[in-house]
Amino acid sequence: MNMPNWLKQRAFLTPERKALVFSEQQWTFSQLFKETCRIAGGLHAAGIKKGDRCGVLAANGPETVFALHALQQIGAVAVLLNSRLVPDEIAWQLQDAKAVYLLYDEPHREKALLISRVPSLLITDIEAGSTPEVLDTFALEETCSIMYTSGTTGRPKGVVQTYGNHYASATASALNLGLHSDDSWLCAVPLFHISGYSILLKSVLYGMEVHLLEKFDPLLINQLLKAGKVTMISVVTAMLTAMLNKEKGTYSSRLRCVLLGGGPAPLSLLEECKEREIPVFQTYGMTETASQIVTLSPEDALRKIGSAGKPLFPCAVKIDGESEGEILVSGPNVTPGYLNRPDANHDVFETGWFRTGDIGRLDEEGFLYVLDRRSDLIISGGENIYPAEIESVLAGHPAVGEAGVTGVPDHRWGSVPAAFYTAEKPVSEEELREFCRQKLARYKVPAYFIKADSLPRNASNKLLRRELSKRWREPDEN
């Protein structure tokens, strides 16, 4: 099935409607389309063509927005790269995706130049070439973007996201949250995350203004919310906690939705928001579902505190178990599969359903309660961290015999990784930390390194990470 080119159609339908606000600058949809076509011309002149995959390593900013839309205009696939990753991690993802180019911005110049496997282009240096032949239509089954998620076996997996996935996600969200003519979505989450990228696509499909921030700034966000500059915002628990700690008053009544994702929220936080009349709607989703797939409807937000809600209109959820079990989801927003990973696809897909690996339950009314986000997964400030990835790095240190990583509580980030290891020869904590810094994004580097005589394993010799968590709590009690 084909649809009119989203941005081209939006610029035709509502050319003078405000599309993007960044600092003191703003663009209408007509201006956004013009800037996007300028970048698209440069990409076309560089030899990038329909179906090519291009890495994008860039911070939140207007040029990043133009580049992401420009790739769509010529039918190229955006491989969105987490800017917090180290060069080796980025290089592996580019190689796995068979990317033909790396697009980067000025803040990431140094990191980009360390990656020599593909040619690179500084986005602000892209000059308009001949006017590109932008696509008239988008085929919903074609790939729009690829995002990598941390891998349970030490390597991340590329999640394929089609135009149809993104369209279904945007329309499902609108059916659930409603769409107001004066909506403005504050985007303070990274554009390389599905939460940020999906806001850009919602903007074009809805004809909605996006108020883009370069980075998370709780003081600035509170000012915007109090002044009534926006109606919606996407946050994770660490962000919302920081915002509330900086502001004891109330926000403007124009704010109608604080979409809270990134893992279960503490009950105390939700109760505080209820008392302060902050409209928080918990949500459950993942990169594989092109953003949210379960969200609390407004009328249920207060009576079902702690629940992620019910599935969005075209989606379904079930539990593989009698009371508690693995959460299975289905819907048109679910990825068609992982890139180059037939083994993983075989494991998670069954007839009509996607196995999330998360544990949950459904109450008698069908509301989902997420009990565990992938039993071994660490969610730190909204970032997904798989212990296996860190363990595989530590195992490469000559002084480490074996390593096990688990998440431990942290007042700021919710959870941080702690590494338990056995030593083949003397090694300092700082040496291990520096070793990890060279090979992992900073947020993945363990906050703690604990030497152990042995690591807990079951009869099949499988590492018992939950037992590591118990070991961590013991020192705190002494």
305-321: average pLDDT: 93
Q: What pLDDT, on the 0 to 100 scale, is given for residue 324?
A: 83
Residue intervals in the chain for CATH 3.40.50.12780: 2-372
H or E stretch covering 268: helix 267-275
| CB within 8 Å of 372: residues ≥ 6 apart | 358, 359, 360
Q: What pLDDT, on the 0 to 100 scale, is given for residue 375?
A: 66
Q: Does residue 475 register a pLDDT over 80?
A: no
| CB within 8 Å of 148: residues ≥ 6 apart | 79, 81, 82, 93, 96, 156, 157, 158, 159
Q: What pLDDT, on the 0 to 100 scale, is given for residue 154?
A: 61
What distance in Å separates the CA atoms of residue 417 and residue 385, rounded to the nearest whole number? 8
Residue corresponding to tokens 């953003």? 291
* Beta strand extents in 192-256 (DSSP E only): 209-212, 232-236
What percent of the chain has pLDDT above 70?
95
Complete DSSP assignment for 56-107: EE--SSHHHHHHHHHHHHTTPEEEE--TTS-HHHHHHHHHHHT-SEEEE-GG
Q: Which of these ranges, 56-70, 146-160, 325-339, has the smallest mean pLDDT?
A: 146-160
Would you say 419 and 392 are in contact if contact means Cβ atoms under 8 Å apart? no
Q: Does residue 301 register a pLDDT over 80?
A: no
Would you say 329 and 309 are in contact if contact means Cβ atoms under 8 Å apart? no
Pick the CATH number of 2-372 from 3.40.30.10, 3.30.70.120, 2.40.37.10, 3.40.50.12780: 3.40.50.12780
pLDDT tens figures, 245-295: 898 888 999 999 999 987 767 777 888 888 899 999 999 999 999 999 999
Q: Does residue 474 register a pLDDT over 50?
A: no
What are the beta bridge partners of residue 325? 360
pLDDT tens figures, 385-396: 878 789 878 988
pLDDT tens figures, 354-374: 999 888 899 999 999 987 666
151 pLDDT band, cuts 50/70/90, is low
Supply the mean pLDDT for the chain.
91
477 pLDDT band, cuts 50/70/90, is very low
Angle at 379 between CA 184 and CA 178, to 5 degrees: 25
Alpha-carbon dihedral sign for residues 459, 465, 468, 469: negative
Half-sphere exposure (Cβ direction) of 162: Cα atoms closer than 13 Å: 19
Q: Does residue 478 register a pLDDT over 50?
A: no
Q: What pLDDT, on the 0 to 100 scale, is given for residue 75?
A: 97
H or E stretch covering 263: none
Q: What pLDDT, on the 0 to 100 scale, is given for residue 351?
A: 81
Residue intervals in the chain for CATH 3.30.300.30: 378-477
pLDDT tens figures, 198-257: 999 999 999 999 999 999 999 999 999 999 999 999 998 889 988 998 988 889 999 999
Q: Does residue 460 register a pLDDT over 60?
A: no
The CATH topology of domain 378-477 is GMP Synthetase; Chain A, domain 3 (3.30.300)
Give 225 or 377, the one with higher predicted confidence: 225
Q: What is the model's pTM?
A: 0.85
Q: What pLDDT, on the 0 to 100 scale, is given for residue 373?
A: 64
